[in-house]
Every structure is written in structure tokens, then in C-alpha cells.
A = this chain, B = another copy of it.
Amino acid sequence: MKAVRLFEFDKPPRLVEVPEPKLIGPLDVIVRIAGAGVCRTDLHLVEGVFPAVRDKLPFTLGHENAGWIEEVGSGVPDMAKGDPVILHPQPSCGFCRNCRVGNDMHCTGPSFFPGFDGTDGGYTELLRTNARAVIKLAPGTDPASLAPFADAGITAYHAVKKILPTLMPGTSVVVLGVGGLGHFGVQILKAMSSARVIALDMNAERLDFARRLGADEAFMSAPDGVQAVRKATDGRGADVVLDFVGERGTPDTAIKMLRRGGSYSQIGYGGTLTIPTVELLLGEYTILGNIVGSYNDLAELMELNHQGKVHITAQQFPLEDAADVLHELDAGRIEGRAVLLPPGVRQGSAQPVAAGAAAR
């Protein structure tokens, strides 16, 4: 079968012929890929930002996957060939304390992360994962366009869910960056809470996009996003800032937008957070890191999508264009999330939120 594999750092991944994966353990599942999302993390993998995978080259990229059940191991309950599915990115063990308590993204047992940690991912036709990673979709669902929920979507959902207990009527939440993740953030906040959503972006078009998605207000993040937020909150500052950028100074700026006792939640990454402890003390801030989300998070997000409350903005490309798509992503020319379709999967239409919507 065809697969797009990373052979060495700083060289584009290449489409090659590889053998099909086989079931190994009793909980293994082989999935026929319908679509695989293209993520900025893929660029970072190519750039060698994660040196730990050097010894595992080459491997197939793609950690944001959806498709259909192809084959299941002897211990897998309740799945049949052809069932449409979306995949939690990190197959977990189900036995460790974290798995048992709903933090399966912190699984300490034998788990792996296809397309990210050196095991083969979804830029191909067939993928091996395990039964604990599989979320069944409603019969008849077209999985291709849903793939970006599996990483971009779940991460935004996870971050929102963590701050949900603090969101009451009258609470203000800033969404920094209305791109691939942030556009999920706005929708999820509006679907799950009565909080006021204030969107900030450097791009005026994205402010319109944010408003169409339900943001109560939207401001340019430059020249003075802090001032804009202060003004919109009667001088007090926001209760929460969700930072979907996480670089180019946003972490430090974001904290200046908070009221005393407020929370800064970091989702985007790349930059550095620096805060004097006396400020952390005087503001009594809470700072929250976020990584992916749990299986239940993704299941709940798919329910929101099923209810029509959270939509995806995505463009589809054939798998063989992977290197080009990565190049376009790097150049900022991808509108919405890009999804790669393997040979034989019919290119359909995504579920557009709004024409011309841009996303990271």
C-alpha cells in the first residue's frame, strides 16, 4: 500500500510502497484510513524539533485519523468491518491509574502515538491502532472530513472542559487566535457555557470568522490586545484566556489580560512563558497546560458535532500531495485544516462553517 513517510529530518516526506500492517495483540485494530489531518506538529517533526524520533526513522506521518474498521483482534468487542470510526491519537493501555481515571492521554502503561512517536501513522491506507482508541461514528457517517476533530478538535475541547466549572453567566473568556484550534474553541465555548467569548486575532478576516462562529466580541490583537480586553471587561480583565497561539510573546501578554484570580490556559506552543513570582502571587493566577485530551473528550466532541453545534472547516487533498500540502501549510496558505485522502477515497466536500474561513 502507499504511505507518506519521513526518512530524514529537514527533507520532505516521500510517498512510497509499504507492506500492510498486521494484527499483533488481541486488542489491536486495523483501520482503513478515510482522511488524515495535516498538523503543524508534522512540520515540527520534519524540522527535527523532536530529536527522540531520529532513531525510529523512517516512519509514516499522520496522527489525526478517521476511517473504517478493517480488522479486529480476538479481544475486541463490538466492532465490525466497515464501521465508520474516528481515532483517539494515543492508543492507551486501560490498566494504569491514569487510564482508569479518565486521563488516558497520560497513560503510563504500554501505549504509543502513531505518526508522532516513530510508530506508523495515518498518511497511508491502513493503520494499526488498538480498541481503546476507536470511537464509532453514526452508521453512514463520512469519516474523511471529520479527521481534524481527532487532534485539533479534541485539544480545544479538553482545554475548554477544564475551565468549564469557572464559567458562569457574566464570565469573560478570551480566545487568542482563531485558527485551526481556536475556531473550535469559540464554538465549543458557546455550545457548553453561557460565558461571554472575546476573540482576538492579528487578522481582520478571522475576527469576522469568529463572530460568525458565535464570538460575542472580536478585536485585533495588535497594537494593544491587552487594552482591548481591559476595556471590554470594565477594566477588570478577563476571567480566562485560552491561548491557541503560545508563541511570539502571547503567553506573557495573555496574563496581562487576566483579572485577579483568573486562569491562563495554554494550548498553542513554541514560545516561552515568563512571570515574576510576585505577579503570580498578587494576581493569584492559575496557569494550565494542555495536551490532547481523553477518549471521553473526543466522544463528547463528536456528540456536539452530531448535534450540529460544532463544525469543522477543512480542505481535502490526495495523499500523494502530502509534501506540497505541508509546504503550503508552512507558508500560511492553507484555509482551514488540510486533510489527506488515500487513493480510492472519493474526495468529498468538507462541512464548511463559512465560506472563506481561515484556520491555522
B-contacting residues of A (Cβ < 8 Å)?
25-27, 73-75, 77-78, 93-95, 97-106, 108-110, 131-132, 161, 165, 168-170, 191-194, 236, 246-247, 251, 260-261, 266-278, 280-291, 294-296, 299-301, 303-304, 307, 309
Contacts and interface: CB of A to CB of B under 8 A. Distances in A.
Contact of A289 (B75, B169, B268, B286): B286
Contacts of A251: 277
B260 A106 contact: yes
B169 A192 contact: yes
Given A26-B75, A272-B276, A278-B269, A287 B286 contact: yes
Nearest to A300: B169
Top 5 A-B pairs, shortest CB-CB distance: A26-B26, A287-B287, A280-B289, A169-B303, A269-B277
A77 B106 contact: no
Contact of A100 (B273, B274, B294): B294
Contacts of A25: 26, 74-75
B100 A304 contact: no
Q: Which of A191, A275, A285, A299 has the most CB of B within 10 A?
A: A275
Q: Which of A169, A283, A296 has the most CB of B within 10 A?
A: A169
Contact of A280 (B101, B192, B286, B287): B287
Contacts of A98: 261
A252 to B, nearest CB: 10
B273 A280 contact: yes
B274 A272 contact: yes
A274 to B, nearest CB: 5
B296 A97 contact: yes
B168 A300 contact: yes
A268 B277 contact: yes
Contacts of A281: 246, 266-267, 269, 289-291
A276 B93 CA distance: 29
B301 A291 contact: no
Nearest to A79: B95
Contact of A77 (B109, B268, B285): B109
B277 A274 contact: no
A288 B289 contact: no
Contacts of A109: 77
Given A193-B192, A287-B286, A300-B168, A100 B97 contact: no
A44 B236 CA distance: 27
Given A26-B75, A194-B304, A286-B287, 9 more contacts: A94-B95, A95-B131, A97-B299, A106-B261, A169-B191, A169-B192, A170-B303, A269-B276, A284-B289
Contacts of A103: 261
Nearest to A292: B284
B289 A283 contact: yes
Contacts of A73: 26
B271 A274 contact: no
A49 to B, nearest CB: 8
